[in-house]
């Protein structure tokens, strides 16, 4: 039986928190009590790091809502790490960015899923997408391009395929059959495939931050609900899955809290304040 977690006094913890389905509800709303607790965690001197699949543009508004004006954020599933500070123009600066060549992978997948919508985020933050792709997680207006034009691009920090005519099982089977080498990928709850550079995950970016901040591995906490959170939940000494998470996500966690609709993250925040 897992022993209840106990906070060590006088310790600054690194708390990595996913956005969608964890901090923010599925309708995009942020509970006022959760937002207030997040601010209290920051005021208590802990390192609250937003760790998300969202792009920089879609992450920054959430940082403003919780009052995170000094610290760090991990975006694009670990491909982009931000330093947050009033000293930076616009309030942030990219301190790490990992890109990959998406051309071969995309050529394989666009032929396998000709009906799929595609989006690609380049290292400079520009987002290109096929006309049918609409997703707020990129946070910027995309430049429209054909699938063939996207397959000709040689640098990306994030590549996404989405399809209303396929299932997540279809994507999983395709990944096995085509063999995605040299990249990291996560299949979403629906027919959603998120691809980044090999070895890049939320956990890989968080480990670099942990070392930079000098936080002991024992003093790391993470909270998430999706398959792209699996590595992050395993990385932290205290990995917390949301109540609505898939069974395989809960299995990777050391704790399970309430669902996002029940403000489950509040209990995690309150344990630090």
% residues pLDDT > 90 (the chain): 67
Are 152 and 180 found together in one domain?
yes
The pLDDT value given to residue 65: 94
Residue 1 is assigned to a structural domain of this protein: no
Residue 177 is assigned to a structural domain of this protein: yes
Of 213, 222, 238, 272, the C-alpha closest to 52 is: 222
Q: What is the mean pLDDT of residues 15-43?
A: 95
Count of domains in the chain? 2
Query: Quick one: tokens of 58?
Result: 């879609």
Are 61 and 112 found together in one domain?
no
Residues in contact with 176: Cβ distance below 8 Å, sequence separation at least 6, in sequence order: none
Are 108 and 193 found together in one domain?
yes
Residue that terminates a domain, selected from 197, 212, 242: 197
Residue 4 is assigned to a structural domain of this protein: no
Are 108 and 66 found together in one domain?
no
Mean pLDDT of the chain: 90
Are 113 and 181 found together in one domain?
yes
Are 191 and 206 found together in one domain?
no
Residue 5 is assigned to a structural domain of this protein: no
- Integer CA distances (angstroms), 117 to 24, 32, 85, 99, 181, in order: 25, 34, 35, 21, 22
Are 179 and 214 found together in one domain?
no
Q: What is the mean pLDDT of residues 3-24?
A: 92
**Higher pLDDT, residue 35 or 111:** 35
The pLDDT value given to residue 189: 60
Are 45 and 179 found together in one domain?
no
Are 86 and 209 found together in one domain?
yes
Residue 2 is assigned to a structural domain of this protein: no
Q: What is the mean pLDDT of residues 241-255?
A: 95
Lowest mean pLDDT among 5-19, 80-94, 168-182, 243-257: 168-182
Are 74 and 122 found together in one domain?
no
pLDDT band at 259 (very low <50, low <70, confident <90, very high): very high
Residue 2 has pLDDT above 60, yes or no: no
CA-based torsion, 95, 144, 61, 221: positive or negative: negative
CATH number for the domain harbouring residue 140 = 3.30.1240.10
Are 65 and 42 found together in one domain?
yes
Taking the C-alpha atoms of residue 68 and residue 212, their distance in angstroms, rounded to an integer, is 18
Are 87 and 120 found together in one domain?
no
The pLDDT value given to residue 171: 81
Residue that terminates a domain, selected from 197, 232, 251: 197
pLDDT band at 1 (very low <50, low <70, confident <90, very high): very low
Residue 3 is assigned to a structural domain of this protein: no
Tens of pLDDT, residue by residue over 140-181, are 678 899 999 999 999 999 998 888 887 778 888 877 777 766
The single-letter DSSP state of residue 178 is: H
List phi, psi (to 5°) of 172. Answer: -60, -45
Residue that terminates a domain, selected from 162, 197, 232: 197
Tens of pLDDT, residue by residue over 58-114, are 899 999 999 999 999 999 999 999 999 999 999 999 999 999 999 988 988 888 888
The pLDDT value given to residue 170: 81
Q: What is the mean pLDDT of residues 227-248?
A: 95
CATH number for the domain harbouring residue 262 = 3.40.50.1000
Lowest mean pLDDT among 18-22, 82-86, 132-136, 231-235: 132-136
Q: Which residues form the domain of 74? A: 14-97+201-270
The pLDDT value given to residue 186: 72
């Amino acid at each position: 039986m897992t022993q209840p977690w106990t906070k060590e006094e006088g310790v600054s913890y690194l708390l990595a928190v996913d956005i969608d389905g964890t901090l923010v509800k599925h309708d995009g709303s942020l509970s006022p009590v959760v937002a207030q607790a997040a601010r209290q965690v920051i005021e208590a001197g802990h390192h609250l790091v937003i760790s998300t699949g969202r792009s920089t543009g879609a992450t920054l508004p959430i940082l403003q809502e919780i009052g995170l004006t000094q610290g760090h954020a991990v975006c694009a599933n670990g491909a982009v790490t931000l330093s947050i500070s009033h000293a930076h123009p616009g309030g942030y600066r990219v301190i790490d960015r990992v890109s990959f060549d998406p051309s071969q992978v995309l050529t394989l997948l666009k032929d396998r899923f000709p009906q799929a919508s595609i989006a690609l985020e380049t290292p400079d933050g520009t987002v290109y997408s096929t006309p049918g792709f609409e997703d707020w997680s990129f946070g910027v207006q995309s430049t429209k391009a054909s699938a063939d034009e996207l397959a000709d691009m040689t640098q990306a920090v994030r590549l996404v395929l989405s399809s209303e005519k396929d299932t997540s099982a279809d994507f999983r089977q395709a990944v096995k059959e085509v063999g995605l080498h040299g990249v990291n990928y996560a299949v979403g709850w629906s027919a959603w495939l998120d691809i980044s550079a090999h070895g890049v995950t939320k956990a890989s970016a968080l480990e670099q931050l942990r070392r930079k901040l000098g936080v002991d591995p024992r003093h790391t906490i993470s909270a998430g609900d999706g398959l792209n959170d699996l590595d992050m939940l395993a990385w932290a000494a205290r990995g917390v899955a949301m109540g609505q998470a898939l069974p395989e996500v809960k299995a990777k966690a050391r704790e399970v809290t309430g669902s996002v609709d029940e403000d489950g993250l509040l209990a995690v925040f309150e344990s630090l304040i």
